[in-house]
Amino acid sequence: MENRLFVCSSPHLRDNVTTQRLMLDVIIALIPSTVAGILFFGLRAALVIAVTVSASVLTEYLMRKGLKREQTISDLSAVVTGLLLALNLPPSIPLWIAVVGAVIATGLIKQLFGGLGQNFMNPALGARVILVVAWAKHMTTWTEPFVDAVASATPLSLLDATTTATPVEGSVWYSYLDMFLGRVPGCIGETSALAILLGFVYLLIRRVITWHIPVIYTGTVALLTWILGTDGLFTGDPLYHVLAGGLLLGAVFMATDYVTCPVTRKGQIIYALGCGILTVLFRLYGNMPEGVSFAIILMNIVTPLIDRHTIPVAFGGEKRVG
- Which residues touch 77 (CB under 8 Å, ≥6 apart)? 19, 23, 60, 116
Mean pLDDT of the chain: 88
Residue 117 belongs to a domain: yes
Residues 241 and 231: their CA atoms lie apart, in Å, by 15
The domain spanning residue 143 has which CATH number? 1.10.3430
CB 300 within 8 A of CB 121: yes
> Omega into 11 within 30° of 0, i.e. cis?
yes
Residues 70 and 58: their CA atoms lie apart, in Å, by 15
**Whose CA is closest to 291, among 217, 188, 235, 184?**
217
Helix (H, G, I), strand (E, B) or coil at 188: coil
Which pLDDT score, from 0 to 100, does residue 228 have? 93
Residue 267 belongs to a domain: yes
Residues 42 and 188: their CA atoms lie apart, in Å, by 10
For the stretch 203-226, pLDDT in tens is 999 999 999 999 999 999 999 999
Q: Which range marks the domain in which residue 133 is found?
A: 18-162+182-307
CB 243 within 8 A of CB 176: yes
**Whose CA is closest to 85, among 66, 94, 98, 73?**
98
DSSP conformation class of 165: S
Residue 299 belongs to a domain: yes
Specify the number of domains making up the chain. 1
Residue 171 belongs to a domain: no
For the stretch 46-100, pLDDT in tens is 999 999 999 999 999 999 999 999 999 999 999 999 999 999 999 999 999 999 9
Which pLDDT score, from 0 to 100, does residue 249 have? 96
pLDDT interval class at 116 (50, 70, 90): confident
Residues 249 and 131: their CA atoms lie apart, in Å, by 18
> Taking the chain, what is the end-to-end CA distance rounded to the nearest angstrom?
45
Is 161's pLDDT higher than 60?
no
Residue 76 belongs to a domain: yes
Residue 192 belongs to a domain: yes
pLDDT interval class at 149 (50, 70, 90): low
Residue 88 belongs to a domain: yes
Residue 68 belongs to a domain: yes
